[in-house]
Chains A and B, each alone.
Chain A
Amino acid sequence: MPTPKPEALIEPELAERVVERALRNGGDFAEVFCEQRSGFSLAIDESRIERAQRGGERGAGVGVAAGETTYFAHVDGLAEADLERAADAAAAALDSQHSEHRPLHAGEPPALQRIEVDPASVAAERKADLLRACDERARSAGAEVDQVMASYAESRRLVTVANSEGRFASDDRTRVRLGVQAVARRNGSVETGFETLGAHRGFELVDGGAGEQIAERAARVALTLLDADPAPAGAMPVIVGGGFGGVLFHEMTGHGLEADHIQKGASVYEGKLGEQVAQPHLLAYDDGALAGEWGTDAIDDEGTPTQKTAVIEQGRITSYLYDLRSARKDDVASTGNGRRESFRHLPIPRMTNTYIAPGEATPEELIAGVDDGFYAVSFAGGQVDPTTGDFVFGTSEGYLIEGGKVTRPCRGATLIGNCLEALGRIDAVANDFEMKTGFCGKGGQRVPVGTGQGHVRISELTVGGTAVG
């Protein structure tokens, strides 16, 4: 099957006129970002299908850069008059001579992700049935499963970017995501389990039983936690689970490697390019081209093709993550990390799919090496201050490790620490690599990101729980 080619939302001639118009009062660089997005979502709660929602938007953002300043305006609609209005608003604050631009050049169209079943072509009733099946599967996991909430969401984003450096590129992005939350109850105690499945793929992702599996997993977590004790508090060795455990690396290293933080002196990784920050076995990437993954696109939101960027090799920092603006500042090429939530936002350096490459050991071997410690299977999320490097993670499923064995489940544990310290204490990575999906917020913009790793061992980290020893 030949790879489908993305269709441009506007003609190159129109794009060129808009770029030219944006530069009429001067500026070093101008771009127009056009977007058409449509989506459908549905949920089940109390075993009833609800919150059926459809939506769509079409619009454009025009940016003009002059010196250190970017002027930006966005409009609804993609008609020529709309685009002109955006160009005029962006150019309004400038009062210099007309700047030249390079003629647009549509390069080789990027390879799109393979979408086997366009979710928009699947009847809504089948999506409702998928949610009913998830509900049923989660409830059948145990009588103590008291509530199940599941949601399905699909989206398609067509984008076309043109800029004064001659770039003209388009992308066609289809994403599907399913999330299931189960609540289990016993006497006064109530626990939740949450699991998601998402990708830059079509309806085939959740079809054929894959959706029901995550429903069962969410229910099992909630049931397991019913037997949980309060988590311990204090510093101890920690094993972090594969897959969404990678959000730890995303927060404690990925954000600090985004070039805008570096250039503002707001990252603990500033000036550390080439330096040893982790043990020599550690290898990590940001890869926006990873086939079918949640954080994958053909081009970033500035038209730069996405790529695989090694950020840590042999424990040394090998690259920061750049968009066009920060790349220009450091006189390097963009790494394809210029992303934006929508046409209403300016692009900024963002992660795509960020992961620690698999190691040699098995997860069991990692755990066997811990006498007394904590096993964080997965997280509800996390947060970092890139300037200080302080981070915090809420665990959604955790266990005690006693004498090299996983023993009792623990509830309510938070992991807290400092990036550079914790990164240097990763002393082993297991071979059970897995990618998971999430949304990352930065500067008020939310974008889909992938996180991944095998099991990871950190020789010491602070666990904040309610049990005070």
Chain B
Amino acid sequence: MATPHPIDLESLAQRAVDAALSAGAGDAEAAAEDSVGREIRVFGGEVESLSAAGERGLGVRAWIDGRVGFAYGTDLSGDGVTAIAADAVEASRVSDPDEFAAAPQPSTDAAPAPDGYLDPETAAWPTDRKVELAKAVERSALAADPRVVAVETAVYVDEEVSSAIRSSTGLGGSYQASFAYAYLQAIAEHDGCKQTGLGFGLGRSPAALDPEAIEREGAERALQLLGAAKPESRTCPVVLDETVAASFAGFIGGVLCADAVQRGRSPFADRLGDEIASDVLAVADDGIDLEGMASAPIDAEGLARGRTPLIEGGRLAAYLHDSYTARRQGDGRRSTANAARSGYRSAPSVATSNLIVEPGSASLDELLAAAGDGIYVTDVAGLHSGVNPVSGQFSVGASGILIDDGALAAPATEFTIASDLVSMLSAVQAAGSEARWVPFGGSVKTPPLLIGEMAVGGS
């Protein structure tokens, strides 16, 4: 690996906190991170690229009288740490004071044991074995059906990360985690029509990945769309498969973050306790589920993570908080330990960890039967441009299979589905019985969902 030598992340973080205080910060918090990872891309039976990555860095947040600043860097020498800390203090002086901005205070909650997030298999597997896994994903897809003509990419990625947090208010902790995932984009062709299908698997180590299941999904998704036509524009019931349901769940999780709510940018603002969804829907944020790829014993501010029910029996049960939004909310509200950061390069902010949509009792066939005449949506595109998170309105590109008299019929593509998040939640009529972890919309575990009505834009 391209990593120089082991490093004590906790004492590094502590040195950064001390340096920020010396530079004039009233309070300071530092997060240090060290990761190693591999990425293997396979094409045409050959390794296209094999990357070995080692990365370590430091992010420092500084407070001076309600002003906050943040800085990050990768120079972890004594002078480097001093410079990063000084940059954070300097940045805080530019900010306007905010009465709610202050360093997070420790809570009495005990963090769960910091193990179970790291699978030693990730490091134990030799690179050759991981290469073989990536090749197997590609190979079996091509062998599955003569109409699968190519695999655009078969990719294997893994990472082990160590993370430590320290603050001048006495918060701190450290943990290690690992994850591995593999995916492929299969290309099927028949009668001049080409379609692509994504198959994926994820877990804490390569041992959790099943190359055949990944290829089967990619091949099936591509094959089932061959001969797809544009459906007619109409309003009809829609069944969202797990990947599509996860993408929408991610957006809903985003607008249930207190930051969006307090700043008036959530369609669910001022709705706490209200019935916002049909009573078949239950959604929770779970930061410690051992199967969840976003899990960790502590959040990005060092607070003990847990589980927060968001929608129970159709009612809005809670918003997600970090220390800032909890203080701003008042009434003794506490952080739900949902401060998150995307690595040491970003300052903490409120975000979902793992979103869990509770399964119902209906099999997929029963969901389709209940839909009657509608569309089973298996893929959506253009989410980042097609959803307005402030108003909740969306119109996104989609493909899938028509549902005719309660059963799957002809494939459909090049259409849009449109609604708004508020209407969609109340239109959820049933949740499938089998949930799956999906890395879209964050880290989401969800079953397929039957939505009573959506606008379909086609021909």
Q: Verify A190–B418 contact, CB threshold 8 A.
A: no
Q: Closest Cβ of chain B: how far from A313's Cβ, in Å?
A: 27
Q: Contacts A54-B88, A85-B2, A191-B391 known; A70 to B49 CB distance under 8 Å?
A: yes
Is A57 positioned at the interface, with any CB of B under 8 Å from its CB?
A: yes
Partner of A69, one of B50, B52, B386: B50
In the assembled complex, which residues on chain B have CB atoms less than 8 Å from the CB atom of A190?
390-391
In the assembled complex, which residues on chain B have CB atoms less than 8 Å from the CB atom of A268?
194
Is B115 positioned at the interface, with any CB of A under 8 Å from its CB?
A: no
Is A437 positioned at the interface, with any CB of B under 8 Å from its CB?
A: no
How far, in angstroms, from A85 to B415 measured CA to CA in the complex? 50
Q: Contacts A51-B70, A462-B414 known; A265 to B4 CB distance under 8 Å?
A: no
Partner of B95, one of A52, A183, A266, A396: A52
Which A residue's beta carbon lies closest to that of B235?
A468
Q: Verify B233–A192 contact, CB threshold 8 A.
A: no
Q: Provide the B41-74 mask, 1 if CB < 8 A to any CB of A, else 0.
A: 0011011111111111100000000001111111
Q: Contacts A72-B51, A346-B49, A414-B457 known; A388 to B195 CB distance under 8 Å?
A: yes
How far, in angstroms, from A81 to B459 measured CA to CA in the complex? 62
In the assembled complex, which residues on chain A have CB atoms less than 8 Å from the CB atom of B345?
55
Contacts of B148-175 to chain A: CB distance below 8 A: 149-150, 152-153
Q: Closest Cβ of chain B: how far from A231's Cβ, in Å?
A: 7
Q: Contacts A124-B94, A392-B396, A412-B394 known; A53 to B71 CB distance under 8 Å?
A: yes
Q: Provide the A432-469 mask, 1 if CB < 8 A to any CB of B, else 0.
A: 00000000000000000000000000000011111111
Which B residue's beta carbon lies closest to that of A388?
B194
Q: Verify B150–A266 contact, CB threshold 8 A.
A: yes
Q: Provide the A44-77 mask, 1 if CB < 8 A to any CB of B, else 0.
A: 0110111111111111000000011111111111
Q: Closest Cβ of chain A: how far from B275's Cβ, in Å?
A: 18
How far, in angstroms, from A69 to B42 measured CA to CA in the complex? 9
How far, in angstroms, from A464 to B1 measured CA to CA in the complex? 49
In the assembled complex, which residues on chain A have CB atoms less than 8 Å from the CB atom of B96?
48-50
Is A177 positioned at the interface, with any CB of B under 8 Å from its CB?
A: no
Q: Provide the B383-410 mask, 1 if CB < 8 A to any CB of A, else 0.
A: 0111110110111110100000000000
Helix, strand, loop or mixed for chain A's interface?
strand
Q: Provide the A1-43 mask, 1 if CB < 8 A to any CB of B, else 0.
A: 0000000000000000000000000000000000000001010
Q: Provide the B1-39 mask, 1 if CB < 8 A to any CB of A, else 0.
A: 110100000000000000000000000000000000000
How far, in angstroms, from A341 to B51 measured CA to CA in the complex? 15
On chain A, the number of residues with a Cβ less than 8 Å from chain B's Cβ atoms is 85
How far, in angstroms, from A58 to B76 measured CA to CA in the complex? 11
Q: Closest Cβ of chain A: how far from B43's Cβ, in Å?
A: 6
How far, in angstroms, from A86 to B96 measured CA to CA in the complex? 43
In the assembled complex, which residues on chain B have CB atoms less than 8 Å from the CB atom of A391?
381, 397
In the assembled complex, which residues on chain A have CB atoms less than 8 Å from the CB atom of B1?
89
Q: Verify A462–B458 contact, CB threshold 8 A.
A: yes
Q: Verify A93–B71 contact, CB threshold 8 A.
A: no
Is A233 positioned at the interface, with any CB of B under 8 Å from its CB?
A: yes
Contacts of A141-192 to chain B: CB distance below 8 A: 146-147, 183, 189-192
Partner of B51, one of A53, A346, A392: A346
Is A383 positioned at the interface, with any CB of B under 8 Å from its CB?
A: yes
Is A387 positioned at the interface, with any CB of B under 8 Å from its CB?
A: yes
Is B98 positioned at the interface, with any CB of A under 8 Å from its CB?
A: yes
In the assembled complex, which residues on chain A have CB atoms less than 8 Å from the CB atom of B51?
71-74, 346
Give the interface centre of B51, B185, B347 by most chain A CB atoms within 10 Å: B51
Is A382 positioned at the interface, with any CB of B under 8 Å from its CB?
A: yes
Q: Verify A58–B2 contact, CB threshold 8 A.
A: no
In the assembled complex, which residues on chain A have CB atoms less than 8 Å from the CB atom of B54?
73-76, 89
Q: Contacts A69-B48, A392-B396 known; A416 to B196 CB distance under 8 Å?
A: no
A-B contact pairs, 24 of them (CB 8 A): A48-B95, A48-B96, A48-B98, A55-B73, A72-B49, A73-B54, A74-B51, A74-B53, A76-B56, A77-B74, A77-B75, A86-B2, A127-B94, A146-B264, A264-B43, A264-B153, A265-B149, A380-B385, A381-B384, A382-B382, A394-B396, A462-B457, A464-B395, A464-B417
Q: A68-B47, A381-B384 are in contact. List 7 more A-B contacts (CB 8 A).
A: A50-B95, A57-B57, A58-B74, A390-B397, A392-B396, A394-B387, A414-B416
